[in-house]
Amino acid sequence: MTTMASLKTVERLRATVEPEQGRIPMFIYTDPEVYELELERVFGRTWLFVGHESEVPEPGSFLVRDMGEESVIVGRGEDNQVRVFLNSCRHRGMRLACEDFGKVSMWRCPYHGFTYDSAGEFMGTLIAAPYERAAYPEGLDRKALHLIEARTDSHAGLIFATWSQDGPTLDQFLGNLSWYLDLLVGRAEMEVVGAPQKWVLPAGWKLPSENFCADAYHTATAHSFLARLGMVKGVDFGRDGYHVDPGGGHGLGVGVHFDEESYFPADLRDEYRAHLEPEQLGLLDRVKNLHGNVFPNLSFLIPNFIVVDGRRVSGMMLRLWQPIGPDKVQVWSWHLVERNAPEWWKRLGQKMYVQTFGMSGMFDQDDTENWEAQTRNSNTALWRQDEIMLHYAMGISGEPLTEFPGPGDVYDGKFSEAAGRTFYRTWLDLILDQRPEQ
């Protein structure tokens, strides 16, 4: 909804956010009016991650997730299609599903009992109401009371949904990123291990999203304990590799090694070969870590391979930075693994996940301290002014490589903020777009 306050904020952003110059004002991290605009124009319009296919394995399986601040139900129908509905009964707006996940034959509202088809031919349709004849002798218009449905699609097992019925397709939205995303989640049949971990951080959602998108630079300092404890040889794991700006506000950093052999299990090689192009497999063979972000708030990570119980191992994780206020995120963290992986890779990968990047992870604590302090600073009187800018100019005059197997602008070495500048350009373009009210 456009109000005088939001118009003023839009103009303020237009005048002060200059991604191409590497100039970003700090007030945007936590300003309440900026946050309201984000809910409407970013989270209300782009594709958002809502779950992995393996989390809704059969007809009737459902998840409760969020799109921006809206609670949604992600359900699989008998036709095997996954659909996403607003988790809000059409009678008085009660949440239909109050659990995090489950399997049901219908969704029955806990308030007055309106009942909706949860998997069948009429998925999302009101199919019954208690004492229907007595309560509604004139009948109920079931079509008009259908659950509000989001547009849904998936890529390599990742389910996305959007409230925009006429915007870009998911393929268009992901663009060049798909090629890289396949290395993570499309290289084999993947499954989520257990339920996602969830916790709340006092941090604005853009800080962690942008960190995963384009900040390999912090690792040498913020995570230097890894080298000091002798877990890796040095802190160069943050530098060697490539910075990728695929466009669309997405971004990633690919850390590479120079050993002959791939670090991934040899037992899975045939499956990788069946799922990936030879150029993709060639890059996967050199991966020693990989971080990135699907705009706006889904991050992914293959942490730096380390030796656990005598074997070199890593994992694959997804992170959702779910906004729950201008200066607060609920973190959702998933660990994924190849379904057909050898037992040691599954077991040690999970161990590594818990120790490094889960809720109790060593790395998470380093990062969290920074994001919380930045968020606090952003809320101070001095930093709420327009004219004090942050410095986002790393790699601003860098030239992308002309030869690289993958698409997008790819820079040699991970120290660049090119994808971060595109993240803020994409964000700003969405906020500035004042489309007529629908």
**What residues make contact with Fe ion under the rule CB under 5 A?**
367
Judged by beta carbon, residue 32 or residue 130, the one nearer ligand FES is 130
- In the list 45, 112, 142, 328, the residue contacting ligand FES (rule: CB under 6 A) is 112
Instruction: Determine the 3-state secondary structure of 149 from DSSP.
Output: strand
Judged by beta carbon, residue 23 or residue 112, the one nearer ligand FES is 112
Check residue 291 and report its DSSP letter: E
Q: At closest approach, how far in Å is the CB of 112 from ligand FES?
A: 3
Q: Binds 109, which of ligand FES, Fe ion, none (CB < 5 to 8 A, cut-off by type)?
A: ligand FES
113 lines the binding site for ligand FES (CB under 6 A):
yes
111 lines the binding site for ligand FES (CB under 6 A):
yes
- Give the x/- contact pattern for ligand FES in 59-98, rule: CB under 6 A: ------------------------------x-xx-x----
Q: At closest approach, how far in Å is the CB of 55 from ligand FES?
A: 25
- Looking at this protein, which amino acid is placed at residue 113? G
Instruction: Determine the 3-state secondary structure of 197 from DSSP.
Output: strand
**Rounded Cα distance, 95 and 182, in Å:** 35
384 lines the binding site for ligand FES (CB under 6 A):
no
Q: Angle 223-224-227 (CA atoms, 0-180°, nearest 5)?
A: 120
**Rounded Cα distance, 16 and 389, in Å:** 9
Q: Binds 94, which of ligand FES, Fe ion, none (CB < 5 to 8 A, cut-off by type)?
A: ligand FES
146 lines the binding site for ligand FES (CB under 6 A):
no
**Rounded Cα distance, 270 and 272, in Å:** 5
With both helix axes pointing from N to C terminus, report the angle between 362-378 and 206-214 in degrees, rounded to the nearest 10: 130
Query: Across-strand partners of 84?
Result: 74, 150
Q: At closest approach, how far in Å is the CB of 289 from Fe ion?
A: 11
Residues 7-46 that bind ligand FES (CB under 6 A): none
Q: Which stretch binds ligand FES (CB under 6 A): 106-114, 203-211, 374-382, 394-402?
A: 106-114
Contact 85, 72 (CB under 8 A): yes
Contact 263, 312 (CB under 8 A): yes
Backbone angles phi, psi at 79, to 5 degrees: -85, 10
Q: At closest approach, how far in Å is the CB of 143 from ligand FES?
A: 17
Q: Binds 92, which of ligand FES, Fe ion, none (CB < 5 to 8 A, cut-off by type)?
A: ligand FES
Instruction: Determine the 3-state secondary structure of 5 from DSSP.
Output: helix
Q: Which stretch binds ligand FES (CB under 6 A): 32-40, 107-115, 182-190, 338-346?
A: 107-115
Q: What tokens were used for 154?
A: 């998936």
For the chain, the maximum distance between any two Cα atoms, rounded to a whole number of angstroms, is 76
413 lines the binding site for ligand FES (CB under 6 A):
no
Q: Which stretch binds ligand FES (CB under 6 A): 110-118, 226-234, 253-261, 338-346?
A: 110-118
Judged by beta carbon, residue 111 or residue 136, the one nearer ligand FES is 111
- Tokens 């993240």 sit on residue: 423
**In terms of DSSP bridges, do strands 70-76 and 329-338 run parallel, antiparallel, or are they unpaired?**
unpaired
Q: At closest approach, how far in Å is the CB of 68 from ligand FES?
A: 22
Q: What tokens were used for 422?
A: 């595109």
Residues that bind ligand FES (CB under 6 A): 89, 91-92, 94, 109, 111-114
